Amino acid sequence: MRQRNTRLIAVGIVLIILAIGFFFVMMGMAPKSNDPKSMMETVGQASGAVGGIAIVMVIFGLIGKKKQA
């Protein structure tokens, strides 16, 4: 039987929320930028990287570790 790592799951969920929030906040700032297309490409890459790492953290947290005998 495996034991879930709830701290890893919680941190992953918080990071997903922060990545989505960062993307939408920066989307509001894009019209004020000199090059909004380039800015949003960079923001999207950063948000996607953080979101991907967060999803992996949630998956590893759900898989968990083996209980000691």
Per-10-residue mean pLDDT of the chain, 69 residues long, equals 92 97 95 94 96 96 85
Q: What is the pLDDT of residue 35?
A: 94
Q: What is the pLDDT of residue 13?
A: 97
Q: Is 69 helix (H, G, I), strand (E, B) or coil?
A: coil
Name the residue ranges covered by the structural domains of the chain: 2-61
Sign of CA dihedral 56, 20, 37, 30: negative
Q: What is the pLDDT of residue 38?
A: 95
Q: What is the pLDDT of residue 41?
A: 96
Q: What is the pLDDT of residue 65?
A: 86
The β-bridge partners of 65 are: 3
For helices 36-63 and 6-29, give the axis angle rounded to 10 degrees. Answer: 170
- The pTM is what? 0.86
**40 neighbors 46 (Cβ within 8 angstroms):** no
